[in-house]
Amino acid sequence: MVWCQAAKVDDVPEGDAISVCVEGEPLALYKLEGRIYATHDLCTHAKAHLAEGFVSGDCVECPLHEGVFHIPTGRPVSGPVSIPIRVYPVRIEEDTVLVDLT
């Protein structure tokens, strides 16, 4: 595993998402009940930025066509999406969010 710094824990708002670029990869970071999750930021349907979507519970709704993904697993839940989004392992070290891109 190669852990890369993605953000500070406090940069990620509770119940919402931010977009970051790690080693050239666009990622979305989410904080759900204090736990950080990371997915690829681009929707598998037409590449909208999921971090600009709407987080509800443990799902994110794409801002373009309302496709919904389960954040912890990346599986498509509803809407026009059928391909899962990639999810990345996350580790917290002190106040820093580390993501494994491998």
Shortest Cβ 102–ligand FES spacing (Å): 26
| 17 Cβ contact list (under 8 Å, min separation 6) | 28, 29, 30, 50, 51, 53, 55, 60
Burial of 87 per CB tally in 10 Å (0-12, 13-18, 19+): middle
Q: For the window 47-76, what string marks contact with ligand FES as x by the rule CB under 6 A? A: -x-------------x-xx-x---------
Q: How many residues would you count in the chain?
A: 102
Establish if 81 lies at the interface with ligand FES (CB under 6 A).
Answer: yes
Q: Which is nearer to ligand FES, 29 or 43 (CB)?
A: 43
- Per CB under 6 A, residues contacting ligand FES are 43, 45-46, 48, 62, 64-65, 67, 79-81
